[in-house]
């Protein structure tokens, strides 16, 4: 028998059978089974075919890294379509088990050591500040409590665990009792190496009782710089921060914006008549003032926050400071043609009185924008909430109906529509919008 044929014969413990008519298909996903009780004698087999079978078996060192092309090639080699050389039903079943079961590692079967690194996969993108690993290891006649799994990135140790967990799938596939622990999970990070993404070599090993390490996996991953210090909240929830965080650390208010949101600015310009006078109620740092002034509007900001008033003064934008205790805007009845109130209603203590004051000081139209709370149930499928819910000062939360109802008490006609597409679609692929925009006409 040829060396490769003998190797395959010894590996699968079965014979290589005869022509196609001795086989029949079973249920989907099951192995081909022989129609005779005894397989026919071993014929002369094309060596190239066996070499391809052996090559595909050898490539199963990491089943999760097998490409679709490799699987197709493996099935093509194993399918009993060659009248001169086919693999018996038993061999096909064993090979399918190795090919599709990620918890079996045939390359380690002869040594007794078996295992799989489930994640990260080959070529996976990882942040340098959060590297999550999971998988399983098993070595016969070794106490799981004495096992240590270690992870190295470019030969530098960055994660280790001495605790293994029960994996029912592993126990079932290996025929182990249910008290054998083999699964592991680890979390690690590595020092940032500049601001550029790079490829790195990940190696995971297992050690029992200070014996020689067994290499579980070695693969290339793509490492990305997390740059947490440059991200919102990144310095607060940094992995190195040992401080116990409280509500005031997470829920807060960001700095006032001096530049407008582009879509909101377009909507405001689109729904205001040319050359109208506009009072910007709760204008903040005056984000919308310069653009409206540049397009011919007579713009005035109204603001209560002292810090924002200082910014308005520095930017040389016209404004009036409002005293919240008074409950009145510093404007006369019908002094302005229109009003804009962008992302303010959610912060107001008495929204009914506030809206009534806006209606008092204008002749024509008011434009409002608020966070859209209707997205919450749709985003639950991803387990996320909109970023603006971390704003500590939000007092009011709106749906289209509640916004229309609030404005309808002071305005003759109200229309509401969403805007600002969220980058994350629903699980079903439907687009969501972060804000509601309202047109309120007197």
In a domain, 107, yes or no: no
CA–CA distance, 313 with 316 (Å, rounded to integer): 5
Give yes or no: residues 141 and 197 share one domain: yes
Give yes or no: residues 60 and 186 share one domain: no
Tokens read off for 294: 């540049």
Please report, for the domain that includes residue 120, its CATH number.
2.60.40.10
Give yes or no: residues 91 and 131 share one domain: no
**% the chain with pLDDT above 90:** 62
**DSSP category for residue 426:** P
Which of the four pLDDT bands, split at 50, 70 and 90, describes residue 242?
very high
- Prediction pTM value: 0.66
Mean pLDDT on 132-147: 95
Domains in the chain, number: 3
Which of the four pLDDT bands, split at 50, 70 and 90, describes residue 16?
very low
CA–CA distance, 284 with 343 (Å, rounded to integer): 10
Which of the four pLDDT bands, split at 50, 70 and 90, describes residue 189?
very high
Which of the four pLDDT bands, split at 50, 70 and 90, describes residue 8?
very low
List C-alpha distances in Å: 132 to 191, 229, 294.
15, 21, 52
In a domain, 38, yes or no: yes
Please report, for the domain that includes residue 288, its CATH number.
3.40.50.150
Give yes or no: residues 142 and 79 share one domain: no
In a domain, 186, yes or no: yes
Mean pLDDT on 260-268: 94
Domain encompassing residue 158? 114-228
How many Å from the N-terminal Cα to the C-terminal Cα in the chain? 95
Q: Is the pLDDT of residue 32 over 60?
A: no
**Per residue in 60-103, pLDDT tens?**
444 443 344 334 434 433 333 343 333 344 343 434 333 333 33
In a domain, 316, yes or no: yes
Give me the pLDDT at residue 119, please: 97
- Given 183, 203, 228, the domain boundary residue is 228
- Given 100, 134, 166, the domain boundary residue is 100
Give yes or no: residues 177 and 215 share one domain: yes
Mean pLDDT on 217-245: 92
In a domain, 57, yes or no: yes
Give yes or no: residues 89 and 188 share one domain: no
Which of the four pLDDT bands, split at 50, 70 and 90, describes residue 211?
confident
In a domain, 162, yes or no: yes
Mean pLDDT on 368-374: 96
Q: Is the pLDDT of residue 253 over 90?
A: no
Give yes or no: residues 77 and 166 share one domain: no
Tokens read off for 299: 């713009």
Q: What are phi and psi of 353, to 5 degrees?
A: -65, -40
Q: Is the pLDDT of residue 222 over 80?
A: yes
In a domain, 237, yes or no: no
- Given 47, 72, 100, the domain boundary residue is 100
Give yes or no: residues 340 and 275 share one domain: yes
CA–CA distance, 162 with 148 (Å, rounded to integer): 5
In a domain, 247, yes or no: no
Mean pLDDT on 177-205: 92
Give yes or no: residues 30 and 77 share one domain: yes
- Which residues have a Cβ under 8 Å from the Cβ of 56 and sit 6 or more positions away? 70, 73, 74, 77, 78, 99
**Per residue in 331-351, pLDDT tens?**
999 999 999 999 999 999 999
Give yes or no: residues 170 and 210 share one domain: yes
Mean pLDDT on 8-15: 38
Q: In what order do the strands lie in the sheet with 165-166?
A: 114-119, 131-138, 181-188, 165-166
CA–CA distance, 50 with 73 (Å, rounded to integer): 13
Give yes or no: residues 82 and 121 share one domain: no
Give yes or no: residues 32 and 75 share one domain: yes
């Amino acid at each position: 028998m040829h060396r490769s044929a003998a190797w395959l014969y010894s590996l699968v413990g079965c014979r290589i059978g005869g022509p196609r008519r001795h086989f029949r298909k079973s249920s989907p996903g099951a192995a081909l089974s022989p129609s005779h009780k005894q397989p026919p004698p071993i014929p002369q087999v094309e060596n190239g075919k066996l070499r391809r079978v052996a090559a595909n078996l050898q490539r199963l060192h990491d089943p999760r890294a097998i490409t679709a092309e490799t699987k197709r090639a493996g099935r093509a080699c194993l399918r009993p379509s060659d009248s001169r050389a086919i693999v018996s039903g038993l061999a096909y079943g064993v090979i399918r088990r190795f090919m599709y079961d990620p918890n079996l590692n045939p390359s380690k079967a002869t040594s007794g050591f078996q295992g799989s690194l489930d994640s990260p996969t080959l070529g996976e993108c990882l942040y340098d500040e959060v590297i999550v690993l999971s998988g399983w290891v098993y070595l016969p006649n070794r106490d799981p409590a004495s096992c240590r799994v270690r992870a190295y990135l470019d030969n530098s140790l960055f994660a280790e665990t001495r605790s293994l967990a029960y994996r029912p799938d592993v126990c079932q596939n290996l025929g182990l009792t249910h008290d054998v622990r083999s699964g592991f999970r680890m979390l690690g990070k590595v020092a940032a190496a500049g601001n550029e993404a790079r490829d790195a070599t990940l190696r995971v090993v297992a050690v029992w009782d200070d014996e020689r390490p067994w290499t579980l996996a070695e693969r290339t991953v793509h490492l990305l710089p997390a740059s947490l210090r440059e991200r919102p909240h990144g310095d607060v929830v940094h992995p190195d921060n040992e401080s116990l965080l409280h509500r005031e650390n997470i829920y807060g208010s960001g700095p006032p914006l001096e530049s407008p949101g582009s879509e909101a600015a377009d909507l405001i310009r689109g729904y205001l008549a040319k050359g109208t006078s506009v009072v910007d109620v709760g204008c903040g740092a005056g984000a919308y003032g310069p653009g409206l002034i540049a397009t011919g509007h007579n713009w005035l900001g109204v603001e209560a926050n002292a810090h924002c008033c200082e910014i308005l003064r520095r930017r040389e934008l016209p404004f009036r400071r409002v005293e919240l205790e008074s409950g009145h805007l510093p404007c006369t009845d019908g002094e302005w043609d229109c009003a804009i109130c962008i992302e303010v209603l959610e912060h107001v203590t008495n929204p009914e009185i506030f809206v009534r004051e806006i209606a008092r000081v204008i002749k024509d139209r008011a434009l409002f924008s608020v966070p859209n709370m209707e997205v919450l149930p749709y985003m639950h499928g991803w387990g996320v909430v909109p970023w603006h819910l971390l704003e500590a000062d939000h007092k009011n939360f709106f749906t289209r109906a509640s916004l229309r109802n609030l404005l309808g008490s002071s305005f003759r006609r109200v229309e509401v529509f969403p805007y600002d597409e969220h980058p994350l679609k629903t699980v079903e692929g439907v687009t969501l919008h972060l804000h509601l925009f309202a047109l309120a006409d007197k």
